[in-house]
């Protein structure tokens, strides 16, 4: 369940993803019981693009895939270069 195992936070110009994974295996046989536990965690911190607020970021989980959407911020219009004449001194 991603609500329990994954946490996404946005603050101070970053987006942080924390996740934990736990699995267990139990095998019973004649005269024995084997119980294995596997655990792993990860943390990723990514820079958040300038011009994107926390409220613009959305996340969804479907068929085992976590999807985080961050809109592309608008880029300022590029200005044409100004030619500067070279004079004699």
> What domains are defined for the chain?
2-69 (2.60.40.790)
Task: Let me know if 48 is exposed, middle or buried by CB neighbors in 10 A (0-12, 13-18, 19+).
Answer: buried
- What are 32's two structure tokens? 């024995």
Question: pLDDT, tens digit, for every residue of 4-46?
Answer: 789 999 988 899 999 998 888 999 988 899 989 988 999 999 9
Q: Say yes or no to pLDDT of 2 above 70.
A: no
Q: Say yes or no to pLDDT of 47 above 60.
A: yes
Q: Say yes or no to pLDDT of 82 above 70.
A: yes
Query: In the prediction, which pLDDT does 50 show?
Result: 84
Its pTM surpasses 0.85: no
């Amino acid at each position: 369940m991603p609500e329990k195992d994954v946490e996404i936070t946005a603050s101070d110009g970053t987006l942080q993803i924390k996740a934990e994974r736990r699995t267990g295996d139990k095998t019973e046989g004649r005269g024995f019981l084997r119980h294995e536990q596997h655990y792993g965690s990860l943390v990723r911190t990514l820079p958040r693009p300038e011009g994107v607020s926390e409220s613009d970021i959305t996340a969804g989980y479907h068929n085992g895939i976590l999807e985080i959407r961050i809109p592309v911020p608008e880029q300022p219009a590029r200005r044409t270069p100004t030619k500067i004449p070279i004079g004699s001194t």
